[in-house]
Chains A and B, each alone.
Chain A
Amino acid sequence: MTTSAVFLVLSTFLASAVEVVETLTIVLAIGVTRGWRATLIGVAAAVVALTAVVAALGPALTVVPIERLRLVVGALLLVFGLQWLRKAILRASGFKALHDEEATYVEELEQARAAGQERRAGLDWYAFTLCFKATLLEGLEVAFIVLTFGASQGSIPLAALGAGAAVIVTASIGAAVRAPLARVPENTIKFAVGVMLTTFGIFWATEGAGAKWPGGDVSLLGVLAFVTLGSLALVALLKRERLRVAVA
């Protein structure tokens, strides 16, 4: 397996895992309070819709010439990855609240208990729509990453494998413990995913713009090190800034 193929699977696995953790929190809260039938039908409907998106767009993307694809996908991935990285750095430096699955779970439980009973198509409509939307929205990020990574690397099935493995592993653990996965180091994983998305974005956008990396694929490791160290330096810088403001 090449360096970029390992990164491909690892990135889609980690990105999917954090999204599944977030979805699981909502699904568990709704299932516990409103019952499992409409909840699981909502999740299944969203999974079908997401699979259709990947199945429809995947083959279409493989027709686009690789240089053009890498330019567009690299730019998109870079902008998208910088969003993840920006939020992760703000969280790590204390400028943004850390994501707390326990707190989200309690909040969702309260809202689900307070919501009225409306039945449509024989389903608890609140449970169905909430779980459908939550799974679809979180899943769209995963689908975006699978399609962009997979298409640029010429292997959508490999990217889907990483994402699929994460869904199975995380959902199985969630089903076994029947509680939000608060012990998963979600904020750290988001930081790592942000770094990886940004690294791939830089790598492919540069190639797409025509420039050549010294050493080819191996320079991906250099870009990864540069983005990681740069991001950690920014965390340290912002932490110092925060302390300075607090003292003043």
Chain B
Amino acid sequence: MKRFARFWWDFVIGDDWRVAVGVALAIAAVAALHHRHVAAWWLLPVAVLLLLYVSLRRAARA
């Protein structure tokens, strides 16, 4: 069971779980802005690029 869970974790989440958490928060922010009738289509592309930048900097320094 543990190995099965580990496999799916590696398969979907991969090396940096912070990216997955960041993506989830960014999508929640898009939904929240849309709920308040604010145009939010621009948010996810910007958030993704920032998350990628931070994750890559961390990997490069390691």
- Measured between beta carbons, the chain A residues less than 8 angstroms from B43 are 206, 211
Stretch at the interface among A38-46, A83-91, A113-121: A83-91
What does the 1/0 interface line of A89-109 toward B look like (CB < 8 Å)?
A: 110010100000000000000
- Measured between beta carbons, the chain B residues less than 8 angstroms from A83 are 13-15, 19
- Measured between beta carbons, the chain B residues less than 8 angstroms from A213 are 41
- Measured between beta carbons, the chain A residues less than 8 angstroms from B12 are 76, 79-80
Q: In the assembly, what is the distance between CA of A238 and CA of B56, in Å?
A: 8
Name A212's contact: one of B11, B41, B49, B59 (CB within 8 Å). B41
Q: In the assembly, what is the distance between CA of A202 and CA of B31, in Å?
A: 13
Q: In the assembly, what is the distance between CA of A206 and CA of B35, in Å?
A: 13
- Measured between beta carbons, the chain B residues less than 8 angstroms from A78 are 23, 44, 48
Contact at A75–B13, with CB atoms within 8 Å? no
| Nearest residue, chain B, Cβ from A140 | B11
Stretch at the interface among A19-27, A173-181, A182-190, A226-234: A226-234
Q: Report the interface size for chain B: residues with CB under 8 A from the other chain.
A: 32
Contact at B56–A86, with CB atoms within 8 Å? yes
Name A211's contact: one of B28, B41, B49, B55 (CB within 8 Å). B41
Contacts A86-B55, A86-B56, A202-B48 supplied; 20 other A-B pairs, CB < 8 Å: A75-B24, A75-B27, A80-B12, A82-B23, A83-B15, A85-B52, A86-B16, A86-B59, A89-B56, A93-B60, A206-B30, A209-B28, A211-B33, A211-B40, A211-B41, A211-B43, A226-B45, A226-B49, A227-B49, A242-B60
Provide a sorted-by-A list of 24 A–B residue pairs whose CB atoms are within 8 angstroms: A71-B27, A75-B23, A75-B24, A76-B12, A78-B23, A79-B12, A79-B13, A82-B52, A83-B14, A85-B52, A86-B14, A86-B15, A86-B16, A89-B56, A198-B48, A209-B27, A209-B34, A210-B34, A210-B35, A211-B30, A219-B41, A226-B45, A234-B56, A241-B60
The interface of chain B, by Cβ under 8 A from chain A, is: 11-16, 19-20, 23-24, 27-28, 30-31, 33-35, 39-41, 43-45, 48-49, 51-53, 55-56, 59-60
Q: Which 3 A-B pairs have the closest CB atoms?
A: A83-B14, A210-B34, A209-B31
